[in-house]
Amino acid sequence: MTPAESYFLPDGPLSRILPGYEHRPQQSEMARLVGVALDESGRLAVEAGTGVGKSLAYLVPAALWAKKHGKRVAVSTYTRLLQNQLISQDIPLVRKVLSDNRQSTLDTRHSPNVRAAVAFGQENYICKFRLNNQVARGLFDTVSEANAAGRLFQWADKTDTGIILDYPHALPPGLASRICRDSAACRREKCPFRKSCFYFKARDSWEHSSILIVNHSLLFAHLATEADLLPECDAVILDEAHRIEDAAVRHFGNQASEHALTLLLDRLASSKGGGLVAALGPRSTARRSIQTEASAARVELDQFFRAVEPLFSPDAQRSRFREPLESGPLAEALGRLAKALDEVVPELDDEALSSEMTGVARRLGRSALALEGFKVPEPDGAVHWAERSSAGAATRSSQGRLSLLAAPLDVAGLLRGTVYEHFSSTILTSATLTVAGSFSFLSNRLGLDDFKTASLDSPFDYEKQSLLYVSDHLPLPSQPADFNRGAAETITSIIEASKGRALVLFTSYDSMNAVYDLMPQTGYTHLLQGDKSTARLLDDFRDDTHSVLFATQSFWQGIDVPGEALSCLIICRLPFEVPDDPRLTAIADKLKAEGASPFREYQLPTAVLRFRQGFGRLIRTATDRGVVCVLDKRIIAGNYGSSFLKSLPKGVRLTTNLSDLTRFFKPAQ
Ligand code: SF4
């Protein structure tokens, strides 16, 4: 038995500190596998069904290994929700269990001292120097911006961490980027706030940690660039591993945004006469030369994105393009502006201003480089597309702000070369890594050829705790008008049977809004995604136990609503990706060219994984009971439906009879 496994024995250390502790063989097996992978410098992908308790199953062996060898383990997640859970619930438990076990015969070598920290990217921390400078000089375009910065200034005095996301109020657009830590603008040892700097205090805690909790994006950014964003880690555990591809695509891709560039130019020389140049004085030659170059850059910016607009067909939000774009004049204009700033900076006596201008110059340089990436035709193995955002539509054109994006089609090689090769051990885990029991899909997508794999069942009794209802009488979702009408009627009947307590999941805002508008009053509160923030919606859904929440996209994964409030999960249609997604189209083209079926090889397994994530929202604890209702009959009628059904937890019973729901929800006599 490995040291880590022994902690999970029926009468082991965890049983002594956790009231109602239940030994789960899957949990101790996972702890064993993780411990062995760390000891043997191995690579492991382990699927752990809901309820296995995977966080403790990797944290205990990671803490023991780090302590024994004086090493540091990075634990990387996709969501902040999981990071919060790890640092506020699981790590204190690991500290306690290791501390209590100090005197035991099981493991006397290890100190109880588990040092853990959460690392965020620099832009998440308030920079006191920049915030003070902004407030002291009143560098704001509007009164509401000045008031918001004033409130933030007071809050910065009270918070220990200075993490902007923890600030309880909304900030005006663009303000966060002006008061956050920016390596180019940071004064480091010369800064008057260096001793109490939030970012450097955080870095200090990272340096002293043996478990460092990060997110996938920050980890990839640290590994793929020369920038020293994190302290060195010896091993990595990537939780929520089913989202690694999403994070890698974003990180290894490229982006140029009209909105971001406009904000950057406004920061320097706003059209209202404000911005950093205002501090140079009205007669300054430097001010005139910067203003001239900034105006020229604005003209090029406008012309460039006007030329991008014809790429879109009417009403399209996204459009793939393969031809090169003439981004040279804009990139050159940004380069000239950056050069003008670089020339001014050494002449400045004002340190705050010089560090701000250095920061803007670096960002202009990075933007110019990003634009250069679109000067060439779309390369093999990547996709280029333009995207329209309705945010900010009023400021430029009725069509909205535009962005250019590039993304790799395959990240397996990048992950192998950049991430897995970097660490002595790499461990991937998630509740959903397999499709119909096989790892082959994610193994191909994530480059896991030399990984040992293991799949550990959920310890829950799905036969008793759950029921799968498939509505076999509705039209196919490909007939949206009829389907939506039928869906609204069926959801109404289901809600009557479940007495509310339902989460209704859609694959798009359009279908969610269409069905929501057709819903009659049900006697239960209806909540709609978009009406409030995600956090508020979830709080309301938990608090009003009989409410019904209509949601899409972000609610398919990562949310946790244990107990009665989520007793019924209604999946309106199988979650296939939207067919006009440019990356999906490009992957499909590539697979077709290779003689493979895009549907079988990519769309179907991707949808199955997402379906499993959605299904996993239902049963969160051993005492939860609930029904999953699927309104898309392709799950039983389609020739691929078995891929979805075979991927469900063992024991789930299937019915097409609505009255079985009433029986399931009937209180025991
Ligand atoms: S040390 Fe750098 S990040 Fe910290 S307050 Fe000073 S300028 Fe800002």
Contact 46, 33 (CB under 8 A): yes
Among the atoms of ligand 1, which is closest to the Cα of residue 200? 4
Percent of the chain with pLDDT over 90: 70
Q: Which of 122, 130, 203, 351 to mutate to test the pocket of ligand 1 (most atoms within 8 A of CB)?
A: 130
As a dihedral over the C-alpha atoms of residue 94, residue 96, residue 99, residue 104, rounded to 10 degrees, the angle is -90
**Strand pairing category for 382-389 and 401-408:** antiparallel
Q: Is 526 in the pocket of ligand 1 (CB under 6 A)?
A: no
Contact 87, 11 (CB under 8 A): no
Closest by alpha carbon to 289, among 355, 349, 357, 352?
357
Query: Between these two residues, 233 and 348, which has the higher pLDDT value?
Result: 233
Among the atoms of ligand 1, which is closest to the Cα of residue 125? 3
CA-to-CA distance for 429 and 414, rounded, in angstroms?
A: 19
Contact 73, 62 (CB under 8 A): yes
Q: Which tokens is 579 given?
A: 């067919």
Among the atoms of ligand 1, which is closest to the Cα of residue 127? 8
What spacing in Å lies between the alpha carbon of 187 and ligand 1's midpoint? 6
Q: In sequence order, what are the residues at sequence separation of 6 or more whose Cβ sits closer than 8 angstroms to the Cβ of residue 639?
A: none
Residue 107 pLDDT level (bands cut at 50, 70, 90): very low
Residue nearest atom 2 of ligand 1, based on CA coordinates: 186
The helix or strand, by DSSP H or E, that contains position 354, with its residue range, turns out to be helix 351-372
Question: Would you call 637 exposed, middle or buried from its count of C-beta atoms within 10 A (0-12, 13-18, 19+)?
Answer: exposed
Q: In sequence order, what are the residues at sequence separation of 6 or more whose Cβ sits closer than 8 angstroms to the Cβ of residue 122?
A: 180, 181, 182, 183, 199, 229
Q: Is 125 in the pocket of ligand 1 (CB under 6 A)?
A: no
Distances (CA, A) of 186 to 153, 182, 215, 329, 668: 18, 6, 23, 31, 64
What spacing in Å lies between the alpha carbon of 209 and ligand 1's midpoint? 22
Q: Is 127 in the pocket of ligand 1 (CB under 6 A)?
A: yes
pLDDT at 618 over 90: no
CA-to-CA distance for 422 and 621, rounded, in angstroms?
A: 36
Q: Is 201 in the pocket of ligand 1 (CB under 6 A)?
A: no
Q: Provide the total of helices (H) and of strands (E) in the chain, helices listed first.
A: 28, 18
What spacing in Å lies between the alpha carbon of 124 and ligand 1's midpoint? 13
Residue 170 pLDDT level (bands cut at 50, 70, 90): confident
Query: Between these two residues, 649 and 134, which has the higher pLDDT value?
Result: 649
CA-to-CA distance for 127 and 185, rounded, in angstroms?
A: 10
Q: Which of 191, 201, 203 to mutate to test the pocket of ligand 1 (most atoms within 8 A of CB)?
A: 191
**Strand pairing category for 254-257 and 401-408:** antiparallel
CA-to-CA distance for 643 and 572, rounded, in angstroms?
A: 18
Q: Is 180 in the pocket of ligand 1 (CB under 6 A)?
A: no
Q: Which of 122, 186, 204, 355 to mutate to test the pocket of ligand 1 (most atoms within 8 A of CB)?
A: 186
CA-to-CA distance for 452 and 41, rounded, in angstroms?
A: 12
Residue 143 pLDDT level (bands cut at 50, 70, 90): confident
Output b/e per residue, 233-253; b: 16+ Cβ within 10 A.
bbbbbbbbbbbbbebbbebbb
Q: Which tokens is 277 given?
A: 């140049």
Give the model confidence (pLDDT) of 480-497 as tens digits: 999 999 999 999 999 999
Domains and CATH numbers, the chain: 3-115+209-234+423-456 (3.40.50.300), 127-197+253-407 (no CATH), 462-665 (3.40.50.300)
For residue 624, the model assigns a pLDDT of 87
pLDDT at 133 over 90: no
Residue 23 pLDDT level (bands cut at 50, 70, 90): very high
Q: Is 123 in the pocket of ligand 1 (CB under 6 A)?
A: no
Percent of the chain with pLDDT over 70: 95
For residue 394, the model assigns a pLDDT of 37
Contact 317, 388 (CB under 8 A): yes
Among the atoms of ligand 1, which is closest to the Cα of residue 194? 1
CA-to-CA distance for 501 and 524, rounded, in angstroms?
A: 9
Give the model confidence (pLDDT) of 299-357 as tens digits: 999 999 999 988 888 778 899 999 999 999 999 999 999 999 999 888 888 888 888 89
Question: Would you call 378 exposed, middle or buried from its count of C-beta atoms within 10 A (0-12, 13-18, 19+)?
Answer: middle
CA-to-CA distance for 350 and 72, rounded, in angstroms?
A: 41
Residue nearest atom 4 of ligand 1, based on CA coordinates: 197
Residue 112 pLDDT level (bands cut at 50, 70, 90): low
Q: Which of 125, 129, 134 to mutate to test the pocket of ligand 1 (most atoms within 8 A of CB)?
A: 129
Among the atoms of ligand 1, which is closest to the Cα of residue 122? 3
- Which residue stretches of 506-581 are H helix? 509-518, 534-543
Residue nearest atom 8 of ligand 1, based on CA coordinates: 127
For residue 101, the model assigns a pLDDT of 64
Q: Is 187 in the pocket of ligand 1 (CB under 6 A)?
A: yes
pLDDT at 102 over 80: no
Question: What pTM was computed for the model?
Answer: 0.89
CA-to-CA distance for 255 and 257, rounded, in angstroms?
A: 6
Closest by alpha carbon to 623, among 663, 566, 571, 666?
566
Among the atoms of ligand 1, which is closest to the Cα of residue 187? 7
Average pLDDT on 282-290 reads 82
Among the atoms of ligand 1, which is closest to the Cα of residue 355? 7
Closest by alpha carbon to 183, among 220, 153, 236, 225?
225
Work out the angle between the directed axes of helices 351-372 and 128-137 (0-180°, nearest 10). 110
Give the model confidence (pLDDT) of 545-592 as tens digits: 999 999 987 788 777 787 888 999 999 999 998 778 899 999 999 999
For residue 534, the model assigns a pLDDT of 81
Give the model confidence (pLDDT) of 452-481 as tens digits: 999 999 999 999 999 999 999 999 999 999
Contact 14, 8 (CB under 8 A): yes
The residue with tokens 């130019």 is 265
The rounded mean pLDDT for the chain is 90
pLDDT at 274 over 90: no
CA-to-CA distance for 250 and 246, rounded, in angstroms?
A: 6
Give the model confidence (pLDDT) of 383-426 as tens digits: 999 998 864 433 444 445 899 999 999 999 999 999 999 999 99
pLDDT at 669 over 50: no
Q: Is 546 in the pocket of ligand 1 (CB under 6 A)?
A: no
pLDDT at 434 over 50: yes
Q: Is 129 in the pocket of ligand 1 (CB under 6 A)?
A: yes
pLDDT at 24 over 70: yes
Give the model confidence (pLDDT) of 45-74 as tens digits: 999 999 999 999 999 999 999 999 999 999
